[in-house]
Amino acid sequence: MKYCSNCGNRVSSLVPDGDNRPRMVCLKCHTVFYHNPKMVVGAIPVWEGKILLCRRAIDPSRGKWTLPAGYLENGETLAECAIRETEEEAGATIVNLIPYAVVNLPHINQVYFMFRSNLLDGTYQAGDESLEVSLVRPDEVPWDDLAFTSIQQVLRMYCRDLSSERWTFHMHDIDSHR
pLDDT at 177: 63
Peptide bond just before 142 cis, omega within 30 deg:
no
d(CA 1, CA 73): 22
Q: Are residues 153 and 122 in the same domain?
A: yes
Query: What is the rounded average pLDDT for all residues in the chain?
Result: 96
CA dihedral 80, 116, 48, 52 (to 10 degrees): 70
**Upper half-sphere CA count for residue 93 (Cβ side, 13 Å):** 3
> Are 110 and 144 found together in one domain?
yes
Each residue's pLDDT tens digit, 104-145: 999 999 999 999 999 999 999 999 999 999 999 999 999 999
Range of the domain at 25: 1-35
| Domain membership flag for residue 178 | no
Give tens-digit pLDDT for 10-38: 999 999 999 999 999 999 999 999 989 99
Q: How confident is the model at residue 176 (pLDDT cuts 50, 70, 90)?
A: confident
Instruction: Name 90's Cβ contacts closer than 8 Å, sequence gap at least 6.
Output: 45, 52, 54, 68, 124, 125, 126, 127, 130, 133
Residues 49 and 73 in one domain: yes
Q: How far apart are CA 85 and CA 128, in angstroms?
A: 11
Residue 151 lies in a domain: yes
For residues 42 and 124, membership in a common domain is answered with yes
